[in-house]
Chains A and B, each alone.
Chain A
Amino acid sequence: MVQPSAYLLLSAILFGIGVVGVVARRNILIILMSVELMLNGVNVAFVAAGSYLGSATGGIFAFMVMTVAAAEAAVGLALLIALYRLKETIDITELRILKW
């Protein structure tokens, strides 16, 4: 029998690794993948909570998070393609045309 807190700990670890990827990397593709990692970490917590509480609601929330993640990946990658056409780079520090 695995304690619920073990799943929550794993969820926190996946989320933390995703945060490191978002703040420390410069490659936009890897930043988007780190966001997917963070969303997945949250899903682990939702599914574990739902199953330990014996309720389907946790699974429904995870389902919604997956939908949002798929939509986010589609729009994020479309933005990336548009940016690459414009600036010929996937380096996030070079994309500062809005910075004064």
Chain B
Amino acid sequence: MELIFFILFGAIATGGAIMVVTRRHPMASALYLILTLFAVAALFVLRQAHFLAAIQVIVYAGAVVVLFIFVIMLINVPDDRLPVERTTVLRVLGVIAAGLLLLESAVAARRFGMPKAPASDSGSVEAVGRALFTDYLLAFEVTSVLLLAAVIGAIALAKKKA
């Protein structure tokens, strides 16, 4: 059962990801990105990581992609002024290098084995919350500083010069 859903959502995520990088208009890419993020959230549910699946939908599909769509509409580049993709030697070499990276990580992933742990609810809200507010409390608090810096930075960068 898990295998069927893994193949289904894995295929959706992979197909959506390919569409994200191949579409000409960024709006189409953003919509396919939402599809991919939802499929990855479904994979998190398959791994019993319910908290992260919810966060994935709320933060990624809900906030990050909406931010992308907002910016696409805000700058509203006319169709004829979208960058024209040209095939250059550097670009082809880059794609070949990316393919080699994929091949290497696939070989590494295939060799990788994990000890069989007893089934646990390590992805539940309770387990994640307990770890987050005890062992990883400092990292969690530093995260809020990072977000504050990002907010101030974004406002300072996007603000019109007075």
Contacts and interface: CB of A to CB of B under 8 A. Distances in A.
Partners in one complex: yes
Contacts of B72: 29
Contacts of B149: 71
A27 B79 CA distance: 12
Of A2, A34, A53, most B-chain CB atoms within 10 Å = A2
Interface string B1-22: 0110010001001100110110
B128 A73 contact: no
Nearest to B148: A71
A34 B98 CA distance: 13
Interface in A60-97: 60, 62-64, 66-75, 77-82, 84-85, 89-93
A24 B116 CA distance: 40
A23 B97 CA distance: 9
Interface string A24-49: 11110110111011001001100111
Nearest to A69: B64
A30 B50 CA distance: 29
Interface residues of B, number: 88
B143 A52 contact: no
Majority SS at the chain A contact face: helix
Contacts of A20: 21, 94-95, 98-99
A54 to B, nearest CB: 4
Contacts of B71: 29, 77, 80-81
Given A24-B91, A54-B118, A90-B75, A75 B17 contact: no
B150 A37 contact: no
Contacts of B132: 60, 63
Interface of B: 2-3, 6, 10, 13-14, 17-18, 20-21, 23, 26, 29-30, 33, 36-37, 40, 43-44, 46-49, 51-52, 55-56, 59-60, 63-64, 67-68, 71-72, 74-75, 77, 81-86, 91, 94-95, 97-99, 101-102, 105-106, 108-115, 117-120, 122-123, 127-128, 130-132, 136, 139, 143, 146-147, 149-151, 153-155, 157-158, 160
18 contacts: A7-B47, A9-B109, A10-B13, A10-B43, A16-B105, A17-B18, A24-B95, A33-B30, A34-B20, A54-B118, A55-B122, A59-B127, A60-B128, A66-B55, A73-B64, A73-B67, A78-B153, A80-B75
